[in-house]
Structure 1
Amino acid sequence: MTDGVFMDPKSPDEPTAEVTPLPVPATAPADPERWTHDHRPSIRSRALSQALYLGLRPFIHRVPGHAAGLRAARSTVDAASLLMRAGQRARVLPLVDPRVETGTDAPPVVGEWVVSRSPAGASTSRGAILYLHGGGYVVCSPRTHRPITSRLAVETGLPVLAPHYRMAPEHPFPAPLEDALAAYRWLLDRGVPASGIVLAGDSAGGHLAASLTGEIMRTGLPRPAGTVLFSPWVDLTCELSTQEQRVARDPYISAYAARRLARVVVGPTGFDDPRLALLACPWADAPPFLVQVGGAEVLRPEAEALADVLDRADVDCELQVWTGQMHVFQILNRVLPEASAAMSEAARFVTRVTRTEPVAASAVA
């Protein structure tokens, strides 16, 4: 990848906690494309979930639904993200490409590449992972999600492109989708074959990755190799998650707060844009999907509903429910054994759909 402007920040290596992987899957399911990892959550997982439930969730439940409060939250998260590193075996290459060569109004592609430092982790085939970060379409950035992107880069051997996309309230939907589509076109324009590209995202980024998959199909662009969704926010109307809120003890996400955010995300046009409605999307001929969701989170019914829709469309869809796990637990893969195992499952899926060589577990960051 020589286009754009790359700068290596040369950040120092940081130590990584030792994590003992769990067996995956824990039981042999009747349907190999749907299984529940039914191990009792680890001590670390239970302790962290309890701490978040008592300490952070009360604030998230009261997240403001107005522009000033959301901008303040974004500034706080951005400041905290300065402490994020890519890990010992990955490095970050910032990317800025104004795309002046297109001669059109195509938006610039700004973000970062996350690549493996190890020659053993470099894929012999051309490809890339396009990762879209979560954060309710209002906060977070590629930097906040480096624990996920660096793990994907090291374990799959593929470079991970994590673009900045415009966020609400300044830029309601479909602005994020337009930026994600621009990043996908950018990869294609630079010779990365669609058969080597995997779309991925978590939470709102999971919604965006799935919406991007549908938009690629609608616009006739070459189909990507697959789509990976971590705890996707499937239904922005929040009907299913609000129902689940009555019985689930989600340690992190509040369906009521998500519903307030959704009104900001969709802007004045409301929920009428069909690109928002993943459960009504015509998914025939879509690429393979991997959907991972925590068993304790209120978004679990949404992930299951999306898997049902994909199954009815005869799409290759793997649904994994991780018992007792919280929203986007994969970001804690350096700490939680369940998160480490889930990331290895994601790498296995990427390897399968792109037909790349797997990377040895000893090379994982």
Structure 2
Amino acid sequence: MSREQRAKVDTILRQPRPEGPQPVEAIRAGFRAMMAQMIVPDDIRTTETALGDRPAVLVEPVDGPRSGTILYFHGGAYVFGSPQTALSLTGNLVARTGFRSLSVDYRLAPEHPFPAAIDDALSAYRALLDSGEDPAAIAFAGDSAGGGLTVTTCLAARDAGLPLPAAIVAFSPSLDATRTGESMDTKEGIDPIFTRDSLAHTGAMYLAGQDPHQYLLSPAILADASGFPPMLLQAGTNEVLLDDSTRMAARARAAGVDVILDITADVPHVFQAFAGVLDEADQALDRAALFLTQQLAPPTAR
């Protein structure tokens, strides 16, 4: 059955798309339409709120959250996406852990290029700390570009002298703006979503002429992960960004960080969004939820 499910997901993601680079509004609309098809758990509630100086969406279990906060950063190449498009991910993490999630609506390129997204993510984290939240009860989680933000926001927090969160969970994180991973070539065509050209198109919007050889743009090859909290990096073998995760895991391990590199065979970028359709998605979310509950210990256990 799982093989059939993987084939179904691959077919969905390979549906014909317009030829050539698309204007940003078309990209955003197409992503909203695709993510609106994802299954969101019934046993959660969402509330519009604010965190720092940015809008955010609070996602909670309907029967109330346990102690602990998942600060979530949505995917979308820093150009598209929102807390709403990530609800299948935040909703499933909340439903599985009982923690609340705050999903940040950070500013997007090209209107707001690098480092706007990192600034907004750091501001959101600072606001949580200023509200009295214990960093030992906070985890960063995100997918794709938002997975990248879990790492770069940690770097920015460390640079700012802030305490780091208790854990990082990153789904198919984008961690190398230089696009030098071998998987960029070996997975070309196997990846049903991205090509080198499509990533270059949106990447240029975020970079806005900046050199990608910076640790806040390419942490998988340039960042010092010393002092980082335990990390869970999940990716699929059918994605060009696979080596962003494998190289980040190696850097973290070399820096003495507890890191789990969780690679699932024959699944695409951010396959976890297909929970309820793809067995591997539900299993990966179960593993992520277990990791989070292990790392965000209740106050009495600390």
1:267 matched to which residue of 2? Answer: 208
Distance of 1:171 and 1:131 partners within structure 2: 19
Distance of 2:104 and 2:3 partners within structure 1: 33
Distance of 1:257 and 1:63 partners within structure 2: 7
Deviation at 1:52, TM superposition (A): 2.2
Per-residue CA deviations over 1:298-336 (Å, capped at 9, x if unaligned) read 111221111111111111000011000100000111211
2:288 matched to which residue of 1? Answer: 346
In percent, how many aligned pairs have the same letter?
32
State whether structure 2 residue 32 is matched by structure 1 residue 91.
no
The higher radius of gyration belongs to: 1
Query: Aligned letter for 1:227?
Result: I
SS of the equivalent of 2:283 reads: helix
Distance of 1:281 and 1:296 partners within structure 2: 25
2:125 matched to which residue of 1? Answer: 184
Distance 1:45 1:76, change over 3 A: closer
Per-residue CA deviations over 1:48-77 (Å, capped at 9, x if unaligned) read 213423x15x54x8443xxxx012322444
Tell me if structure 1 keeps the 8 A contact 2:38–2:273.
Answer: no
Deviation at 1:78, TM superposition (A): 4.3
Query: Aligned letter for 1:294?
Result: G
Tell me if structure 1 keeps the 8 A contact 2:272–2:281.
Answer: yes
State whether structure 2 residue 276 is matched by structure 1 residue 334.
yes
Higher RCO (CA-CA < 8 Å; seq separation 6+):
1
State whether structure 2 residue 4 is matched by structure 1 residue 43.
yes
Tell me if structure 2 keeps the 8 A contact 1:284–1:315.
Answer: yes
When the two structures are aligned, how many residues end up with a matched partner? Answer: 297
Query: Aligned letter for 2:210?
Result: T
Which residue, out of 98, 103, 112, partners 1:157? Answer: 98
2:140 matched to which residue of 1? Answer: 199
SS of the equivalent of 2:102 reads: strand
1:282 matched to which residue of 2? Answer: 224
Residues 205-354 of structure 1 mapped to structure 2, 5 A cutoff? 205-240=146-181, 241-246=183-188, 249-278=190-219, 279-354=221-296
Distance of 1:255 and 1:328 partners within structure 2: 17
Distance of 2:218 and 2:33 partners within structure 1: 33
1:116 matched to which residue of 2? Answer: 61
1:104 matched to which residue of 2? Answer: none
Distance of 1:171 and 1:196 partners within structure 2: 30
2:111 matched to which residue of 1? Answer: 170
1:52 matched to which residue of 2? Answer: 13
Tell me if structure 2 keeps the 8 A contact 1:202–1:232.
Answer: yes
Deviation at 1:256, TM superposition (A): 2.3
SS of the equivalent of 1:251 reads: coil
1:131 matched to which residue of 2? Answer: 72
Q: Which runs of 4+ in 1 moved over 3 A?
A: 61-64, 75-86
Deviation at 1:288, TM superposition (A): 0.6
- State the TM-score, normalizing by the size of structure 2: 0.91
Tell me if structure 2 keeps the 8 A contact 1:237–1:262.
Answer: no
- State the TM-score, normalizing by the size of structure 1: 0.76
Q: Larger deviation: 169-178 or 69-78?
A: 69-78
Query: Aligned letter for 1:148?
Result: L
Structure 1 runs not aligned, ≥5 long: 1-39, 98-106, 358-365
Query: Aligned letter for 2:5?
Result: R
Deviation at 1:81, TM superposition (A): 6.0
Query: Aligned letter for 2:239?
Result: E
Distance of 2:176 and 2:125 partners within structure 1: 23
Tell me if structure 2 keeps the 8 A contact 1:250–1:296.
Answer: yes
Tell me if structure 1 keeps the 8 A contact 2:118–2:149.
Answer: yes
Q: Larger deviation: 142-151 or 277-286?
A: 277-286
Query: Aligned letter for 1:187?
Result: L
Tell me if structure 2 keeps the 8 A contact 1:242–1:256.
Answer: no
Query: Aligned letter for 1:146?
Result: L
